[in-house]
Amino acid sequence: MNAADFDYVRKYVREQAAIVLEPGKEYLVESRLLALSRKESLASVDELMVRLRAEPKGPLHRKIVDAMTTNETSFFRDIHPFDALRKWILPEVIARRAPERKLTLWCGAASTGQEPFSVLMLIAEHFPALLSWDLRFIATDLCTEVLARARTGRFSQLEVNRGLPATLLVKHFSRQGVEWEVKPELRRRVEFREMNLLSEWSLLPPVDVIFLRNVLIYFDVETKKAILAKARRVLRPGGYLLLGGAETTINVDDAFERVAFDKTTCYRIKGEANAAGPAATSSTESRPALPKAFLPRVPAPSAVAAPS
């Protein structure tokens, strides 16, 4: 594609979604625009660009931003954060929130839904008593198209083959033609909403665990700083932030501290281990006391098997 068209798309996407498309990504941008032009029944990327420039900030612009998002995801992606969630993070926040019986989770780049549904399945398997609490699971993304898919709770055979243990597939999904659908009792527990991480987060309640995995990698340092500052504001005292394996708060927002668990690292606001009460610990040595209702079902460490 020509430099002027690449520059137009690059600037617009950066302004709207903070996604950085460096020079050298022309091929990627062109192939995604080609797919979009076909969807829009346009003859070529050139025609798409002409339309785009003729209707500035119209619906086509929105579709361009959506088309430039990378929505790669899978069930129990990178498994270790889910192990940490099961062994330490959820027991700790559950113990802390037991008096109110209220817990809020937020997944800020939910894509097609595999991540929030993985967390919910983990809860259903290992902390089923939590389902009788005031449990809110908010899952947001910028991209309208992936959210529409996530809301259906439907996944292809290929998608369920990626990371989902067969036992969980059989238990939590039903077959719908060639697809698999998350059973309604889990599906209705996730509130899928459109939300740009660049926007104000005023609609978010205080959150106990934030999942912002594999999205900061697309942003420049200033945007990461701004997003992490907002994450600090919505995180409850002692709450946890989970990032992707290639992401960190180190040298971006030093108000966060790393909390090392077995084979993964999560983040918490510095100095809040004590402020949050006796249940909070940054050590994998000590485990918090779980409320009684949770005790019979606390799993052996290997209960959620790493996907093959």
Ligand X SMILES: C[S@@+](CC[C@H](N)C(=O)[O-])C[C@H]1O[C@@H](n2cnc3c(N)ncnc32)[C@H](O)[C@@H]1O
45 exposure class (CB count in 10 Å sphere: 0-12, 13-18, 19+)? buried
Q: How far apart are CA 6 and CA 31, in angstroms?
A: 12
36 contributes a contact to ligand X by CB under 6 A: no
Nearer to ligand X among residue 75 and residue 180 (C-beta): 75
Residue 249 C-beta: closest distance to ligand X, Å: 16
Q: Which stretch binds ligand X (CB under 6 A): 11-19, 95-103, 173-181, 248-256?
A: 11-19
Q: Which stretch binds ligand X (CB under 6 A): 55-63, 96-104, 209-217, 276-284?
A: 209-217
Q: How far apart are CA 66 and CA 9, in angstroms?
A: 12
264 contributes a contact to ligand X by CB under 6 A: no
Q: From the list 18, 49, 85, 210, which residue makes contact with ligand X (rule: CB under 6 A)? A: 18
Q: From the list 141, 247, 253, 272, which residue makes contact with ligand X (rule: CB under 6 A)? A: 141
118 contributes a contact to ligand X by CB under 6 A: no
197 contributes a contact to ligand X by CB under 6 A: yes
Q: Which stretch binds ligand X (CB under 6 A): 6-14, 29-37, 80-88, 135-143?
A: 135-143
Size of the site for ligand X (CB under 6 A): 24
161 contributes a contact to ligand X by CB under 6 A: no
182 contributes a contact to ligand X by CB under 6 A: no
Nearer to ligand X among residue 92 and residue 115 (C-beta): 115
248 contributes a contact to ligand X by CB under 6 A: no
Q: Where do contacts with ligand X occur on this chain (CB under 6 A)?
A: 17-19, 69-73, 77, 109, 111, 115, 141-143, 146, 196-198, 213-215, 218, 244
